Every structure is written in C-alpha cells, then in structure tokens.
Structure 1
C-alpha cells in the first residue's frame, strides 16, 4: 500500500474537532478504579440478594414484584459497565475495541433511563393501590404490568441509539480513547447533543419527577384522611427508594445537562471543572445502585422477615439467634 493510500485512509478516520484537553489526575483515576470495582461487586451481591428473596418468598407474578424485578435488572445492567470503565481508567487506554466501546456506554444509558421509568411506574402503582383501590383493579393486572415494562425497555433502548452512534475509539498520542467523537462525517453532533439535552431534561427528569411528586401528594392526602398507620408502612419502602434516587440522580442530571449544553464552548480549564463536577455527581448516582437494595431488604418488615429466613436456611446454626415470622403469606402491598 502506498503512502498516499495510507494518508487517505487516515484522513477518513473520525478525529476530535477540538484539541484534546486532559481532565484527569492519575491519583484520582487510581482511587476511582478501586471504588468502581467495589461498587460493582457490592451492587451485584445486593441486587442478586433482592432477586433471590423475591424468587424464594414472593409471588413473582404480582404487579409490584414484576416492577421490582425489572428495576433491579436495570440496576444490574447499568452497574455492569463499571468494570470496563475501571479498567479504562486504570490502564489509561481502551483495550476492548470499538464495538465494546459502543456497547458499554449504551448499556450504561439503558440502565439509567430504564431505572427512571421503573421508579415512576412503581410510584404510579402505589398511587393506584392507595388512592383508587377498587375502580382500577383491572388496570393493576399482571398483563398491563408486563406490557408497561416492555414499553419501558423499548423506549430506553431507542434512547440509547444516540450514545451508540456517537461513541467510538480513536487514537491520540499512542493511546486508545473510548469517547464521544467531536466530529463524525455526515452527522451533526451539535444537533444530536441538543436533542439529547431536551430528551433527557423533559422525558427522563422533569416528566418522571412531576408524576412522582403528584402521586405522592395524593397518596399522603389519602392516607392522612384514612388515618391508617399500616398504610404508612406499606408505602414507606417505595417512598424511600424514590427519595434516595432523586437525591443521588438530580445533581448528576443537572451537571450532565450542562455538559451537553455548554461543553463544546468552554475553555480547557472550565472543562476540567465541569468534568470534576460530572465525576463527583456520577459517583453519587452509582451509590444509589449500590445501596438501594438494602432499602428493599431492611426497611420493609416483610423483606426483613424473608432475609432472616434466608439466613437461617443458609446458616442453620443461626436459628437460635434469629427470630422471624414463619407465616409466608404474601400480602397485597409491599411492607
């Protein structure tokens, strides 16, 4: 192959539109690597524990358990991207190839987007159960729950098409980078970023937040009128999961939206500050996926009882030290 042909091929490879800006500190990257490994292992263990408890002690075909299983699955999908990101930071180069670059970051967004919707569905289901008990019995059916989950996965999958298109591998100073290209032939990157900005802002943040706030206001008003303390316990778990989610995710959403909107117009120093804020808030978001299963297991009284039974079954010597209710009848509401 002649030098001319080689130069022609090289000129066709996608290159960043702006000069590279090194935003990373080696010590920070090393520390984050170990944190990512720990969060991945911890998340897998706790999420699988929730699935085992639901499978062993619950009826899988109830509406709320269908939604919970899908929520846990979306958490596992997102956290599955962490080992790849950890290796990327540890080695300072992407070693998994262009296809895996697209897959890993598409999986990350698939888990993120689907989790938002499944939390919204869980809240809406609690709203129907407490505010409209009898009139909507036919609505809260297994069939509708499965259809709703399928729609969520389809919408979330379609929203991941853009990250899959934009992410790719390029070489810079003998290092392979898995990033969003600043320029791809035939694609208006700024237009795509602008569309992602508005999609994430309105569909995956404002809309779910508005639905959740409305549902919980109505739930609180209804429970207050009924003066039933048992219903407070029944809705507590989902409420705490939702509150935890938005505490961990809203800062990240805000910073990421700023990143979409202004990143291309910023100086290198400003990009470093924005990148640092993005890293901090993203890790806050990852923490949610690590600790939320603990709320499933230890906040709800029924899950506490199931967890104790599971411990005794796995470790019979603990039977004399752990007390639990042997009645495994599944109640209508999570409590």
Structure 2
C-alpha cells in the first residue's frame, strides 16, 4: 500500500537529521534538498473519493459473480474453482481501499499499527494473487483449447486445487518483504503518523526493497505477460486452423479480462520502475513522477472495480443467469425480460468437456 506522501517521506526522510524545516510555499524546494509533495497529496486526496465507490461497486459485482457460480454452476469444475479464487483475491484487494481512501484524504494514518499491517498484507496479497490467477486461468484455457483431446486427463479437481494452493503460497511468500518494511511511524517534521514502508536505508532494508522490486517486476509483470501472450498466440492459431466458433467464444471473455488487466496495470508498473531510481532528479521532475504515479495507481485500481462487469454481462451464460436471478427476485420483470432456462443437470453434462462456457 502506497501513500501520496511517499515522495516526501520515503525519498527524503533522514532519521539522523534533527533539523526542523519551515517553509511557506509548498511548491518550492525545501531546505536541505527536500521536495514538498503537497501538490501530489492534494491530487491523491481528490482522487481518493472514488475509492469508496469502487469498493462498493466491486463488492456488489464480485458478490454477484459468487452468487451466480454458487446458484447455477458446479463448484467442482476447474474453471469455476479458478474463477472463485480470482474473485476472492479481487475482493481481498478491494477491501483495503476504504482505509487507503481515508489515509489519502487525511494525509496521515488513524487506524493504528495492527490495522496498518493487516491492510498492507491484504493489499499486496490480493494484488499478487490476482495477477497469478489471471495467468493460471489463461494457461488453463490454453490447455483446454490447444490440447483438448488430452487436457481432460490433467484438468481435474485435484489439479485446480493444487494450482490454487501454489498461487496463494507464492503470493504469500512474495508479500513478506513488503510486510516487514510496512509499518507505522511518526514523521518528525510534521508530527503525523504514516503507514507505509519504513523510510530507513539500512543494508537489510535495502535488500528487502530490492527483493520486493524484482519480484514484482519479474514474477508479477514479465512472467505473466510472457505466459499470457504465448498462450493466446497458441489459442489463436488453433482456433483459426480449426475454425471452431464455439471455442473462440469460450476464450473471448477471459481474453478481454486479461487485456484489460494489463492495460490498467502496465502503466503503473512502468512508473514504479522509473520511480525506483529518481534520487538525482530535480524537485520538479520528482513532482511530475509523483503525479504520474498517483494517476496510474488509481487507474490500476479501476480494473478490480470493473472486471465483474465482464464476468456478468459479457458472457452469454452469465447474462442468462443474471436475468433468471432478476425474474426470481422481481417477478414483475418476467414480461419484460427474456429468460432461457439452463438446468444445472444439462450444464454438468457439458462441463465435463468444456468446464464452463463463459460466452
């Protein structure tokens, strides 16, 4: 979890400096080479108001997906197990946003050290696991389409549960460096409490930051990107050569979700990469990177908010389920909504061959 104060605190904090800095213009460079981030803080506070909306929208959308899977689908199929875990990881990530929103608006932390650790843990665990579950879903689609004749021997419930366990384990281990550094502290210039990576530059802290940086770069950006691009190239070749329209419809939704994910998250990761080496920049350049970081950060959050729309409204089968839920809840809508009944029995028969047809 990042704070809008990170440029001021993390880049310029010196625990051995007891000098009290007084300044009038928040846009000027401060004595001692410090750089004010008041403008970035103000932008973060203004944008943070959408966090509450995104949290509520995500809670409703992801909750609806869970209800549909539980109500109409078999929870034992491979794709449903993966989807269920992806929704849980998205909900986990989005649950941190109300706390982050309050933090950005106040520019200081009010929830205590324990909640700081918990919110930070949930934030990174939800983020990392979502990336890996998206990659796993794509790889699973690759198996079912490219190796459809032999995939059924591998794609079983045990395979799905084991894969999910590995994802949660890897994601949890990857959070350790972040969680060791993530804590509350009082900044001696402002006497305010902050909740973020503790801004000390000890050898251990530097190693932890470096490990977290390279993990995020290689394991949660480059590796998923390579796997997803490879899988969809193979899927595209197979679909084009076989001319099977139904298979194209089956992979379309996940492709849209994955594409949207990387559109939302790649700019943030690029800014994070260049932000990691800005010690020699001028104050004005640091501010520009701070603004870019704030905006791309918030764009990245949008993915977790709008992805349920694609689960629910792009897939034809999910659309049918949603209409059935509406008609059951509001019988008066039956004359206005066309509902095609899809029985659980018929679907379980088809699921042995396709798992779940998302479109």
Query: Scaled by the length of structure 1, what TM-score is found?
Result: 0.90
2:93–2:122 contact (8 Å) kept in structure 1: yes
Gaps of 5+ in 2: 1-13, 18-31
| Per-residue deviation, residues 36-67 of structure 1 (Å, max 9, x unmatched) | 11111111111111111111111111100100
Partner of 1:189: 205
- CA shift, 1:269, in A, is 3.2
Partner of 1:210: 226
2:271–2:289 contact (8 Å) kept in structure 1: yes
2:126 is the counterpart of 1:111: yes
| Per-residue deviation, residues 70-123 of structure 1 (Å, max 9, x unmatched) | 111111111111111111122222011122212212211111110111001100
1:312–1:318 contact (8 Å) kept in structure 2: yes
| Per-residue deviation, residues 180-214 of structure 1 (Å, max 9, x unmatched) | 122176x5222222222221111111111111111
Partner of 1:52: 67
- CA shift, 1:171, in A, is 1.3
Partner of 2:309: 294
Query: Which of 147, 171, 184 is 1:156 aligned to?
Result: 171
| Per-residue deviation, residues 160-189 of structure 1 (Å, max 9, x unmatched) | 11111111211122211112122176x522
Query: Which of 194, 211, 221 is 1:177 aligned to?
Result: 194
- CA shift, 1:138, in A, is 1.8
Whole-Å separation in 1 of the counterparts to 2:218 and 2:328: 47
1:16–1:183 contact (8 Å) kept in structure 2: no
2:178–2:209 contact (8 Å) kept in structure 1: no
Partner of 2:286: 271
Matches within 5 A, 1:66-145: 66-145=81-160
Alignment RMSD, CA only? 1.9
Q: 1:191 to 1:58 in 2, by over 3 A?
A: same
Whole-Å separation in 2 of the counterparts to 1:138 and 1:294: 32
2:254 is the counterpart of 1:230: no
2:44–2:294 contact (8 Å) kept in structure 1: no
Partner of 1:23: 37
Q: Which moved more, 1:19-28 or 1:283-292?
A: 19-28
Query: Which of 241, 244, 248 is 2:257 aligned to?
Result: 241
Q: Which moved more, 1:95-104 or 1:214-223?
A: 95-104
Whole-Å separation in 1 of the counterparts to 2:237 and 2:74: 30
Partner of 1:334: 358
Whole-Å separation in 2 of the counterparts to 1:22 and 1:44: 36
Q: 1:318 to 1:200 in 2, by over 3 A?
A: same
- CA shift, 1:267, in A, is 4.2
Query: Which of 45, 49, 52 is 1:34 aligned to?
Result: 49
Aligned residue for 2:335, secondary structure, equals coil
Gaps of 5+ in 1: 1-13
Query: Scaled by the length of structure 2, what TM-score is found?
Result: 0.84
Aligned residue for 2:338, secondary structure, equals coil
Whole-Å separation in 2 of the counterparts to 1:16 and 1:176: 18
- CA shift, 1:28, in A, is 2.3
Query: Which of 254, 277, 282 is 2:270 aligned to?
Result: 254
Aligned residue for 1:137, secondary structure, equals helix
